A and B are shown apart, each in its own frame.
Chain A
Amino acid sequence: MHSNSQFQTQPQSQQQQQQQLQSQPAKKVPIAQKYKSLGFIAAGTYGRVFKAVRRDGDPTIEYAIKKFKPEKEGEASLQAGISQSACREIALCRELSHVNVVNLEEVYVDPLDRSIYMVFEYAEHDLLQILHHHSTLHGSSRQIPPYTIKSLLWQLVNGVAYLHANWVLHRDLKPANVLVTSTGVVKIGDLGLARIFQKPLKPLYDGDKVVVTIWYRAPELLFSSKHYTPAVDMWAVGCIFAELLLLRPIFKGEEAKMDGKKTIPFQKDQIAKIIDVLGPPTVEKWPTLSSMPDFNQLSTLRMDKQESNLRNYCFQYPYSTTENGYLLLAATLEYDPMKRLTADDALKHAYFVEDPTPGIVEGHGKYIFPNGNVYVGEFKDGQFHGNGTIHFTNGGRYDASWKDGRVIDGKFTFKDGLVYEPENWGYCTPSDRRFYHEVLNGFNQ
Chain B
Amino acid sequence: MAASFWSSSQRKTWLFTQTQLDELIRAQKENCVLTSLERKHVMIYYTGMIISLAKALKLRQQIISTACVFFKRYYLRHSLVPQRNNGIEPTLMLATCVYLACKVEEAPVHIKSVSQVMTSNQMLGSQSSIDPSKISECEFYLMEGLEFYMIVFHPYNAVIMYIKDLSLSKQDRTVFLQTAWMIVNDTYKTDLPMLYPPHMIALAVIYLTAGMQENALKDVDFAAWFSRFNVGHNDVLILVQHLLDMYQVMSLYVEKDVSGLVSRLRSAQV
Interface residues of A (CB under 8 A from B): 19-25, 28, 78-82, 84, 87, 90-92, 94-97, 107, 109-111, 114, 165-168, 195-196, 198-202, 207, 394-396, 414-416, 424-430, 432, 435
**Top 7 closest pairs, chain A to chain B, by CB:** A426-B230, A427-B230, A111-B140, A21-B87, A394-B7, A167-B3, A91-B150
Q: How many residues of B contact A (CB 8 A)?
A: 57
Q: Does B60 sit within 8 A of A, measured CB to CB? A: yes
**Are B7's CB and A97's CB within 8 A?**
yes
Complex alpha-carbon distance, A47 and B138, angstroms: 22
**Are B6's CB and A414's CB within 8 A?**
yes
Given the complex, which residues of A lie within 8 Å of B132, measured CB to CB?
A: 79-80
Instruction: With A432-B4, A435-B4 as known contacts, state yes or no: A427 contacts B231, CB within 8 Å.
Output: yes
| Of B6, B103, B144, the contact of A109 (CB 8 Å cutoff) | B144
Nearest-neighbour CB distance to chain A for B181, whole angstroms, equals 15
Given the complex, which residues of B lie within 8 Å of A82, measured CB to CB?
A: 103, 136, 139-140, 143
**Are A94's CB and B150's CB within 8 A?**
yes
**Are B133's CB and A78's CB within 8 A?**
yes
**Are A168's CB and B111's CB within 8 A?**
no
Nearest-neighbour CB distance to chain A for B146, whole angstroms, equals 9
Q: Does B199 sit within 8 A of A, measured CB to CB? A: yes
Q: Does B55 sit within 8 A of A, measured CB to CB? A: no
Q: Does B179 sit within 8 A of A, measured CB to CB? A: no
Given the complex, which residues of A lie within 8 Å of B9, measured CB to CB?
A: 94-95
Considering only residues 7-56 of chain B, those with a C-beta below 8 Å from chain A are: 7-9, 12
Stretch from B76-84, B116-124, B214-222, B249-257 contacting the other chain: B76-84
Given the complex, which residues of A lie within 8 Å of B139, measured CB to CB?
A: 81-82
| Of A79, A81, A96, A429, the contact of B229 (CB 8 Å cutoff) | A429
Given the complex, which residues of B lie within 8 Å of A415, measured CB to CB?
A: 12
Interface residues of B (CB under 8 A from A): 1-9, 12, 60, 62-63, 77-79, 83, 85-88, 99-100, 103-108, 111-112, 132-141, 143-145, 148-151, 157-158, 161, 199, 227-231
22 contacts between A and B (CB under 8 A): A21-B87, A21-B134, A24-B79, A79-B111, A81-B135, A81-B139, A82-B136, A87-B104, A87-B150, A95-B9, A109-B143, A109-B144, A166-B1, A196-B3, A196-B106, A201-B105, A202-B106, A426-B228, A426-B229, A428-B6, A429-B161, A429-B229
**Are A201's CB and B62's CB within 8 A?**
yes
Instruction: With A23-B141, A94-B150, A166-B2 as known contacts, state yes or no: A78 contacts B86, CB within 8 Å.
Output: no
Instruction: With A201-B105, A429-B158 as known contacts, state yes or no: A91 contacts B3, CB within 8 Å.
Output: no
Nearest-neighbour CB distance to chain B for A162, whole angstroms, equals 8
**Are B144's CB and A95's CB within 8 A?**
no
Nearest-neighbour CB distance to chain B for A326, whole angstroms, equals 33
Given the complex, which residues of B lie within 8 Å of A22, measured CB to CB?
A: 83, 85-88
Nearest opposing residue in chain B for A104, CB measure: B148
**Are A95's CB and B1's CB within 8 A?**
yes
Nearest-neighbour CB distance to chain A for B175, whole angstroms, equals 23
Given the complex, which residues of A lie within 8 Å of B7, measured CB to CB?
A: 97, 394-396
Nearest-neighbour CB distance to chain A for B237, whole angstroms, equals 17
Complex alpha-carbon distance, A204 and B158, angstroms: 23
- Beyond contacts A96-B2, A432-B5: 18 other A-B pairs, Cβ-Cβ < 8 A, are A21-B141, A24-B78, A79-B136, A81-B100, A81-B111, A82-B103, A82-B139, A90-B148, A94-B151, A95-B2, A111-B141, A114-B140, A201-B60, A202-B107, A207-B107, A394-B4, A427-B230, A430-B229
**Are A196's CB and B2's CB within 8 A?**
yes
| Of B1, B105, B140, B161, the contact of A97 (CB 8 Å cutoff) | B1
